[in-house]
Structure 1
Amino acid sequence: MRWLSNISCMTRGLVTPGKYALVSLLAVLAVPAPAAVVVLYHHVSDKTPASTSISPARFEAQMDYLAEAGFTVVPLMTLVETLRKGGTLPDKTLAITFDDSYASVYESAYPLLKKRGWPFTFFVNTEAVGSSRLFVSWDQLREMATQGVTIANHTNAHHHLPRKQPGESAREFRQRIEQEISRAQQKIAQEIGEAPMILAYPFGEYDREVQAIAKKLGYVAFGQQSGVLSEHGDLQAVPRFPFGGSFTELDDFKLKVNSLPMPIASTAFYANKQQRLDDLVVKAGDQPWLVLTLEEPRLLKAVNCFATGQGAIPVEIIRDQLWTRAKAPLNAGRARYNCTAPAGGKGRFYWYTQQWLVTDKNGNWSHND
């Protein structure tokens, strides 16, 4: 990263040993980074399932904070094009997204954001559109599009993409996933008049093969793992901070939208310290290792990591790499490792999340579409 190259030059003179060098390093690393945050919502309602909902009042409070704190809200495509071109992103730049075609977006979020003149992206699973009162109609989507809302691809039927069907060959799997994506893209283009080449994975879940399909088709693809966009991020695993359920408190929102990208040079996954993993899919009972190489190795001692449902997990530094894994076996479903480090003053943090998809012990999916 360009900004980290500058930081490296600034920190070469830090020779004070121990904690004083670390404090000095964190102060230098507090320089704002060219990065941006993408936030994600599903329902904006008091009457929908709590696990995927935020109340209109809490949503408005979050938007009020963005305005008061001086954030610039931009179209998601502005961030995408910047990433594609390797450009820089100014501090406190943010994009707003919604998934799943829910009518509450039109009824509650859209009027509020329209009043502010703020753009947003609505990822729609096209089979759901107009299918019941729970979902938006194409007329409502067309209205939003005329007001600058981006309507984008959330696949056709919102299936769990990494899961192969019984007896399905690798070739049949790839064809089916391509069709899931392409049918939605064609429908959006037909109904709205245009369809940007961006994709949100259903449930935010993907594996290496799904990523390869998205890349082959030319999409920048978004998950639901927390994190911050940066210049060298994976364009088929772009992070977003999801807000819903137990994650709607304003203090939590403030912490996350002020985060900076963890300065990662590379990531690797291991089943144990000798056996490398090639994918993000593991089995229940596994404790996979996440290995991070940072562009500034002296930051390693400041990193803390956490696992879903387990709190803080051990961190080891081996040959200028951070090694971390869950302290207990993972359960079937979805799991995440979150790694953060202080970014100097004002309570800002570097943030990186690694998502794992966990099958049962026999390799079967427990996920329900």
Structure 2
Amino acid sequence: MKFLSIAFLLMVSPVCFGLVVLQYHHVSDKTPSSTSVSPDLFEQHIRYLAENNFNVLTADEFADSLTFEKSLTDDKSVLITFDDGYDSVLTEAHEVLKKYNFPYIVFINPSKVGSKGYLSLKELQQLEGDGAAIANHTWNHPHLIREKPSETKADWRLRVTEEITTTQQFIEANFDATTKLFAYPYGEFNQALAQLLEQLGFIGFSQHSGAIGHFDNRQALPRFAFGGNYGLMSDFRIKVNSLPLPVAHVDVRDKSGNLLYEPLLTEGSSIPKVTIQIQNNGSHPKNLQLSCFASGVGSIAVKKIDSTTFETQSPEPLPVGRSRYNCTATSKLAGRFYWLSLPFYKKNDDGSWYPEY
């Protein structure tokens, strides 16, 4: 396998068409709004899936769908995920999901299991008995791409490997874990992490948005995160019905024209230039038009080079922290949009890491 850019892997086999992964944290009116949806809104989301005949996958079905031999033909398939194992998954979300007989995944940090505000081991086992899968979110929820002072690359790799493998050992000792799934804390990943996950046999999830398509890296799959201003029903309907942009190739370059292989932006690369080539197979509208947006900037211009090639670039540097380029286009299917998201991370000007927010 070969990295193309921003740690995206070109997969040998195509992924099922139109698979969308939903990400939640809290389902509550009393927790931080940026990572919370209200119980009422959450039930509206789940009811919409049921009323519109979405195929909600188990963890095993999802893993099977990523192989050529077992790719799904249903283009309205959804995976429901929760990060961190907060207690509102049981008190607010579980009964709604059980009502509709929908499976889901809870990504946990064992160091937090049983702490205030988090699910206990017994509660997690109860959820598993009712159809949930329990999966890996590291032991302590660290920023994995951040090396500690004086830490060598080998030391970093050993520390990160331990975060992942000790968590998996806990999961396999306490749950019926048949599929190795991993969610990056804060959604942050790089090439070394993606390669490590692949070597350890995991499918990985980040937090950039979009439907999963053939171009996506099995170790950094997109998810739509809901919380704060994201998740109102108008927003939810668009996202859950989204389709993967039919990409043939993407490259990302700095201001000197050098290819960028990592989401972490360095000096000279804070205004990344992206070239997107669309598959020329007649599956998309002949006059396909891309609209792109950059975090902290808003709408950014898109230049159409030819019928299948587009260029886009923010007119100003991306902000410090986690950001994205999101590009969308109208598909041939009424009310459904193609979606592609590219994640970026940027340190403070002095080289220090941004604080969490």
CA deviation vs aligned residue, 1:27-56 (integer Å, no higher than 9, x gap): xxxxxx822111110000011011100000
Contact 2:63 2:179 in 1 (8 A): no
CA deviation vs aligned residue, 1:161-216 (integer Å, no higher than 9, x gap): 11111111011111111111111101111122436311000011111111111111
- Aligned-residue CA RMSD (Å): 1.9
Equivalent residue number for residue 69 of structure 1: 52
Contact 1:198 1:220 in 2 (8 A): yes
CA deviation vs aligned residue, 1:208-235 (integer Å, no higher than 9, x gap): 1111111111111001111111234210
Higher helix share goes to which structure?
Answer: 1
Q: For structure 2, list consecutive stretches of 5 or more residues without a partner in the other structure.
A: 1-15
Equivalent residue number for residue 264 of structure 2: 281
Tell me the SS of whatever aligns to 1:302: coil
| Percentage identity across paired residues of the two chains | 37
Q: Does 1:310 align with 2:293?
A: no
Tell me the SS of whatever aligns to 1:276: coil
* CA-CA distance at 1:84 after TM superposition: 3.1
- Letter in structure 1 aligned against 2:27: V
Contact 1:225 1:240 in 2 (8 A): yes
Give the whole-Å Cα distance in 2 for the aligned partners of 1:159 and 1:84.
31
Tell me the SS of whatever aligns to 1:140: helix
Give the whole-Å Cα distance in 2 for the aligned partners of 1:214 and 1:284.
28
Bigger Cα Rg: 1
- Letter in structure 2 aligned against 1:164: E
* CA-CA distance at 1:345 after TM superposition: 4.6
Equivalent residue number for residue 23 of structure 2: 40
Equivalent residue number for residue 323 of structure 2: 335
Q: For structure 1, list consecutive stretches of 5 or more residues without a partner in the other structure.
A: 1-32
* CA-CA distance at 1:341 after TM superposition: 0.5
* CA-CA distance at 1:88 after TM superposition: 2.9
Contact 1:288 1:326 in 2 (8 A): yes
Contact 1:123 1:200 in 2 (8 A): yes
* CA-CA distance at 1:79 after TM superposition: 1.8
Equivalent residue number for residue 23 of structure 1: none
Between Structure 1 and Structure 2, how many residues are aligned?
Answer: 336
- Letter in structure 1 aligned against 2:162: Q
* CA-CA distance at 1:284 after TM superposition: 7.4
- Letter in structure 1 aligned against 2:346: V
TM-score using structure 1 length:
0.86
TM-score using structure 2 length:
0.89
Contact 2:328 2:337 in 1 (8 A): yes
Tell me the SS of whatever aligns to 2:93: helix
Contact 1:152 1:195 in 2 (8 A): no
Equivalent residue number for residue 111 of structure 1: 95
Equivalent residue number for residue 7 of structure 2: none
Equivalent residue number for residue 363 of structure 1: 351
Tell me the SS of whatever aligns to 2:113: coil
- Letter in structure 2 aligned against 1:316: K
Tell me the SS of whatever aligns to 1:336: strand
Q: Does 1:180 align with 2:158?
A: no
Equivalent residue number for residue 128 of structure 1: 112
Equivalent residue number for residue 294 of structure 1: 278
Q: Does 1:323 align with 2:311?
A: yes
Deviates more, 1:359-368 or 1:120-129: 359-368
Equivalent residue number for residue 142 of structure 2: 159
Give the whole-Å Cα distance in 1 for the aligned partners of 2:162 and 2:280.
42
Contact 1:336 1:354 in 2 (8 A): yes
Equivalent residue number for residue 348 of structure 1: 336
Tell me the SS of whatever aligns to 1:211: helix
